[in-house]
Amino acid sequence: DGGITQSPKYLFRKEGQNVTLSCEQNLNHDAMYWYRQDPGQGLRLIYYSQIVNDFQKGDIAEGYSVSREKKESFPLTVTSAQKNPTAFYLCASREGQGVGQPQHFGDGTRLSIL
């Protein structure tokens, strides 16, 4: 079955530690996205990538970094510079190149601070 796989489902970070969230898709989608979800705030865009080896900052990129070395993979690193990392993180990919195409989401990673 094609889809988006995020791992791990739950992640704990210690103070001063960087952690990496995995996102893999086998849908052959070019564009991929990372969102942060906080209660009552909807989804906010962290980073997005439209093609391999290219990515752009979203609305809340500070304290985060990404890479896009393969079409299938778009890992997100939450660095120690992100002072409030506790949230639910969602990865998405978009079908096709045309305008108005929907995004499809993974099941998320919940990050908490120890």
Of the candidates 19, 32, 94, 111, which one interacts with another protein according to CB under 8 A? 94
User: Binders of another protein: how many residues, by CB under 8 A?
Assistant: 26
Which residue, among 45, 10, 12, 7, has the nearest Cα to 23 in the 3D structure?
7
Residue 56 near another protein by CB under 8 A: yes
Residue 27 near another protein by CB under 8 A: no
Of the candidates 42, 53, 54, 114, which one interacts with another protein according to CB under 8 A? 42
Residue 104 near another protein by CB under 8 A: yes
Cis preceding-peptide flag for 8 (omega within 30 of 0): yes
- Cβ neighbours of residue 41 closer than 8 Å, sequence gap 6 or more: none
- Cβ neighbours of residue 19 closer than 8 Å, sequence gap 6 or more: 11, 13, 77, 78, 111
Interface ranges with another protein (CB under 8 A): 4, 6, 31, 40-43, 45, 48, 50, 56, 58, 90, 92, 94, 99-108, 110
